[in-house]
Amino acid sequence: DKTFLNYNFKNPEGNLYKTTDLIANLEYKDNLKAYLTFDNRRIYELRTNEEQDDYSDLEKFVYTINYNWSNLQKTTNMDLLARYFAASNFQGNWDDYVFLPHNYFLYSDPKVGFVFLPWDIEQNLNIGTNLSIIGFSQPYSPDFRYAPLLFGYKGFFDGISDWAGISPDSRPLWDNLINDSDFIDAYLNAHSKIVSNATALIELINDNFDFIKPTVLEPFSFTDPYTYLEWYPTQIDEGWFEYDKYRVLNFLGDRTQYVQEQLPLIII
């Protein structure tokens, strides 16, 4: 954790918190240290400066989100928040704050304020919840290619929260952000930048798929002592690799087109 901060932040001495369960929705609690998982881990687990064990910065941030919104920009950077949520929305990440509130770190940068850091973001690009592109569908899982950008985004996927047994109602940060004009401007601009780079991204991903198969998957048997000494197509049906390639590229192409169409329609 400290190595990451030293590499990525000019001010690496702040508190770093890791969310440890699906209920890290940033609702205000009187004592965040006492807000625990079923196995007695803190929901917001301090990963640096443990000896001081000082949660006052996080408590102030959460209080501001819930009760003092006009001062939010004194505790965080709106542009960085917009980029975080735009990236999550564009890629269809259903395993994040808006739907299953976890899988993020919060870093209290002494100069910038709180910064959201995503992690464990493999549940995206229509994986795991929707197989409509190959003819299957699940009732709790709408197609992320056509997810709303802003209003209706959270509600469109209430089924995911219901499926996980988590209330989809209380997401105070997101609920307040989508009514804040400063955030909306930055958020839509972030989407526009993603779209403008989408063609190059799709080409790069396609090249990476073509590189991975002969250089990583096919010789895999000869480098991993824990598998049978068989060629990759015998261990894993080659069709799954081709399906994943199609899923990713198809999602990005369709999502890019949908976002392009929706951006001019959003009226602040």
Closest among 165, 170, 173, 146 to 85, alpha carbons compared = 173
Q: Tell me, what's the pLDDT at 163?
A: 67
* Cβ atoms < 10 Å from Cβ of 230: 11
Q: Tell me, what's the pLDDT at 232?
A: 45
10-residue block means of pLDDT along the chain (268 residues)? 90 96 92 92 96 97 98 95 96 88 94 93 74 48 87 78 70 95 96 97 95 79 52 59 89 97 86
Q: Tell me, what's the pLDDT at 140?
A: 53
Question: How many CA atoms lie less than 13 Å away from 236 in the CB half-sphere?
Answer: 14
Q: Name the one residue in this structure whose structure tokens are 């917001």.
A: 44
User: Using an 8 Å Cβ cutoff, are 43 and 20 in contact?
Assistant: yes
The predicted-structure confidence for 68-127, as pLDDT tens digits, reads as follows 999 999 999 999 999 999 999 999 888 889 988 899 999 999 999 999 999 888 888 887
